[in-house]
Amino acid sequence: MSSADIIREVERETALELEALLGAADRRAAAVIDAATAAVHARIEAAIDREEPAVRAEAGKRVNAARSRLNQRRVERSLARTSAVHAAASARLEAIAQGADVQRWSMALEGLAREALDLVGSGAQIRVRRRDAGLVGAVAEATSATLEVVDDEAPAGVVARSDDGRIEVDATIPVRLDRARVRLAETVAARLGIGG
pLDDT of amino acid 170: 96
Q: Residue 171: its pLDDT value, please? A: 94
pLDDT tens-place string over residues 14-27: 888 888 888 888 89
User: What is the per-residue pLDDT for 44?
Assistant: 87
Contacts for 100 with CB less than 8 Å, ≥ 6 apart: none
42-63 tens-digit pLDDT: 898 888 888 888 888 898 999 9
pTM (two decimals)? 0.59
Residues of the chain where predicted confidence (pLDDT) is lower than 70: 195-196
Query: What was the pLDDT predicted at 161?
Result: 96
Q: Cα–Cα distance between 22 and 41 in angstroms, integer? A: 28
Strand 168-172 with 146-150, pairing: unpaired
What is the predicted pLDDT for the residue at 195? Answer: 62
